[in-house]
Amino acid sequence: MGNLPGNLNAAGAWRPRRAFASIPLLLASLIALISLSATAGEPYRFDATGYLGEAGLMPDWADTMNREAAQSALLDVCLADADVCPRYYRGLRHLLLRAEGLPPKKQITLVSRYVNKKRYQDDRTARLASPLSEEPLKYRSRWATVEEFMRRGGDCEDYATTKYYLLRRLGFSADQLRIVITWERGERGYHAVLAVHLPSDEATEVLLLESDDTIKRGRRHRYRFIYSVNEESIWDHEAKQTSVSRKQPASLIKETST
Amino acid sequence: MRKLIILAASLFAASAWSDTATVKIYSLDVMERVQTLELIDVTAEKSPSANAEGLDAELQAILDEAVAIEATDEEE
């Protein structure tokens, strides 16, 4: 007993020294600190971590990209000639033409504010998992194109996709943009934001464009990032076991998609 | 010597089979994960935040002009 760091009390029982007695308290504090830091999410990062596969693997998003490609010609024509512009594009035409010469940060703010002014509309539709399935109906949200959003509004992922395509028109590359699906801890719901990767002279900045008019700059916030997409890829930010390196041969992924 | 060749051939066959199995599991994982992610229902509605930064005069003017054009078109 003489080797143990403590003393015997009056009853003869071993009593640890005061320094050791505080260890449980220190451990509890450490656990509390760790859980607090987990609640405040990490900033979003634009790296290849979590690369899951090509964008075309996600049927709904692939469908939106195809529709956008087919419909974008109308906006091209509209930008070239105001007389052939449908009414729902005239305000957007003015905005895009005025935004062309602005610095990137101003373009981002302008596009985000303009899109946020559009009407919110829940566009969920009930779908069966498959025609033969007896599972209950699943509610799915169709991701809108720019034209669809300008005509009838949309919900949060439609705000994000519209900002994505408008910034692409203003010269941002696909590598700079990702539509990010998040779990919002405070609201306890899923949310979509557009992440913009903005290299500057001093540092690389990541902006999260919100549908409430705020633009969050790479600081901690209350999001848990689930996945993100752009025209080229899907990134899975949660399931590390299924995530693969970008160096993984694409043929392996294609093999299963056919 | 013959035993050694058989052993080497067995090891080679085992390693080849093992790689194939891994690829199949990996591929299934990716597709299952994509299907799971697609089912996430994203519908959050946000009102303009009081914390939003103010717009500078140039951007506010462009935004007002675009909104005014749309308003005129709606009246027609």
| Range in A216-220, B2-6, B30-34 the model is least confident about | A216-220
The reported pLDDT for the residue numbered A20 is 61
Say whether pLDDT at A228 is over 90: yes
Q: Using 50, 70 and 90 to split pLDDT, how confident is the model at A248?
A: very low
The reported pLDDT for the residue numbered A91 is 96
The reported pLDDT for the residue numbered A256 is 31
Residue predicted with more confidence, A65 or A247: A65
Say if residues A55 and A230 touch (Cβ distance below 8 Å): yes
The reported pLDDT for the residue numbered A179 is 96
| Range in A82-96, A179-193, A208-222 the model is least confident about | A208-222
The reported pLDDT for the residue numbered B59 is 95
Judged by CB atoms closer than 8 Å, whether chains meet at B44 and A189 is answered as: yes
A157 membership: H or E segment, kind and range: helix A156-169
pLDDT digits (tens, 9 = 90+) for A55-96: 999 998 999 999 999 999 999 999 999 999 999 999 999 999
Say whether pLDDT at A199 is over 50: yes
Domain annotation covers residue B65: no
Domain annotation covers residue B14: yes
AA letter at A68: E
The residue range of the domain holding B12 is: 1-28
The reported pLDDT for the residue numbered B39 is 84
Residue predicted with more confidence, A165 or A240: A165
Q: Using 50, 70 and 90 to split pLDDT, how confident is the model at A232?
A: very high
- Judging contacts by C-beta atoms under 8 Å, the chain B residues touching residue A244 are 26, 30
Among A31, A53, A65, A49, residue whose Cα is nearest residue A168: A65
Find the mean pLDDT for residues A209-237: 85
Number of domains in chain B: 1
Among A171, A190, A180, residue whose Cα is nearest residue A108: A171
Question: Which chain B residue has the Cα nearest residue A215?
Answer: B52
Residue A225, min C-alpha distance to chain B (Å): 12
Domain annotation covers residue B59: no
Which two three-digit tokens encode residue A186? 């405070």
The reported pLDDT for the residue numbered B27 is 63
Question: Which chain A residue has the Cα nearest residue B51?
Answer: A214
Domain annotation covers residue B11: yes
Judged by CB atoms closer than 8 Å, whether chains meet at A244 and B26 is answered as: yes
Domain annotation covers residue B15: yes
Residues on B contacting A at a C-beta cutoff of 8 Å: 23, 26-34, 37-49, 51-53, 55-56, 58-59, 62-63, 65-67, 69-70, 73-74, 76
Find the mean pLDDT for residues A104-110: 95
Residue B75, min C-alpha distance to chain A (Å): 11
Residue predicted with more confidence, B19 or A107: A107
Q: Using 50, 70 and 90 to split pLDDT, how confident is the model at A202?
A: low
% of chain A at pLDDT higher than 90: 48
| Range in A38-42, A63-67, A226-230 the model is least confident about | A38-42
Average pLDDT, whole number, for chain A? 79
Domain annotation covers residue B36: no
Mutate to test the interface with A, among B23, B24, B29, B34 (most CBs of A within 10 A): B34
Residue predicted with more confidence, B41 or A244: B41
Q: How far apart are CA A255 and CA A248, in angstroms?
A: 13
pLDDT digits (tens, 9 = 90+) for A111-163: 999 999 998 877 666 555 555 666 655 566 789 999 999 998 998 899 999 99
Judged by CB atoms closer than 8 Å, whether chains meet at B63 and A239 is answered as: no
Cβ neighbours, 10 Å, residue A176 = 18
Domain annotation covers residue B74: no
B8 membership: H or E segment, kind and range: helix B2-38
Domain annotation covers residue B8: yes
HSE-CB at A246 with a 13 A cutoff on CA atoms is: 9
